[in-house]
A and B are shown apart, each in its own frame.
Chain A
Amino acid sequence: MISVAEPWVEAPLKRFVDDARVTFALLIYPSGQVLGQSGFARAVDVMSAAALAAGIHATVRELGRTLDGKGFRDVFHAGAKRRLYLAEATTPRGPCLLLTVFDEQSSLGLVQLYFEELRTALAHTKVPVPDAAPMLDENFEVELNRNLAMLFGRAPGRRNITPTS
């Protein structure tokens, strides 16, 4: 199932997943923010994978520059059963990365073939102008404090500490 943070990536990402027959697909900004994904069950796991993929990409790009004078555009890793492919694309909002994992149902050639289609689709997709209205209520702090206090299992409030003498 596809879930997206940016609706304009949904159709091209779905087409890629269906055509390339991959297990996981994750489209992210290079900063690690998620654009869309397929195959993950929990949103927090998606964010962890995105942070690591952004890290891999940044590292490999710099390694490429060091060794070759220019950054590598894609990375392939073959595990025992699953394979991983990470590559760059461009959108009207700037560069993005695709991390995808696949098994024997697919192949690197197939993934690369359909990634080129995805790359082309993303480059030419129409991105809507963001809504200009403020979105959070003025008193959002009340909900923020309540939620954070619940998260930490405590009542909102500050504790002071005194240095030991």
Chain B
Amino acid sequence: MSLVNYATREITCKIVYYGPGRSGKTTNLHYVYGQVPDERKGKMVSLATQTDRTLFFDFLPLDLGTISGFTTRLQLYTVPGQVYYQATRKLVLQGADGVVFVADSQARQLDENIESLQDLHANLGNQGMDPRTVPLVLQYNKQDLPRDMIMSVDDLDEALNFRGVPRFAADALHGVGVFETLRGIAELVLKRLASPAEAGSR
């Protein structure tokens, strides 16, 4: 649930980057961190193993500025993608306002993508969130790799995007598609705060 303070006119939204291990979730946050001026971001917190694999989560707070008169802030989290960190993913997903699913476009990673997407749906359901209505965008990362290694956007749509949500081709390492992905999920999350149905449920 987005946190809204009418008195000070502030909105805070929690966005979680989800996906299989090594799909590029942390890379997305690193790129965002590198792009945003210091006065508009907090420290990037990474709870990682010695080999820089995400152990608990990465966290990056962003000050988005004023939207409709509200100071708007985003809290970006990643989850650890490796299968055995299931319990941790559940914890990080608590209270999420929107989810970015970062898929690895490599053909050999298709099963991992599908398994992680199913895991996301199960975890959302376990927390009383409707997986069909939670704001979600897909990012097809690593689209810069050679064609014979990766699946096309259309093929990835066919395999993963059964909800028909916004999806973005990306090369997160070099920043391509990172901005568009963040804009896509921020738009979906904030749209809920502009619709009467969501406002009534707050």
List the interface of chain A (C-beta within 8 A of B).
3-7, 29-34, 42-45, 47-48, 51-52, 54-55, 58-59, 62, 130-138, 140-141, 143-145, 147-148, 150-154, 156, 158-161, 163-165
Contact = CB atoms under 8 A, between A and B. Distances in A.
- The contact size tier of chain B is 35 or more
B25 interface: no
Contacts of B62: 44, 151
A151 B147 contact: no
A135 B68 contact: yes
B190 A5 contact: no
B160 interface: no
B42 A44 contact: yes
Interface string B38-74: 0011110101000000001101011111111010110
Interface of B: 1, 3-8, 10, 12, 14, 35-37, 40-43, 45, 47, 56-57, 59, 61-68, 70, 72-73, 75, 77, 87, 91, 94-96, 143-147, 150, 169-171, 176-177, 179-180, 182-183, 186-187, 190-191, 193-196, 198-200, 202
Contact of B187 (A133, A144, A158): A144
Contacts of A4: 5, 8
A165 B146 contact: yes
Contacts of A160: 169
Contacts of A152: 35-36, 179
Contacts of B150: 163
A161 B143 contact: yes
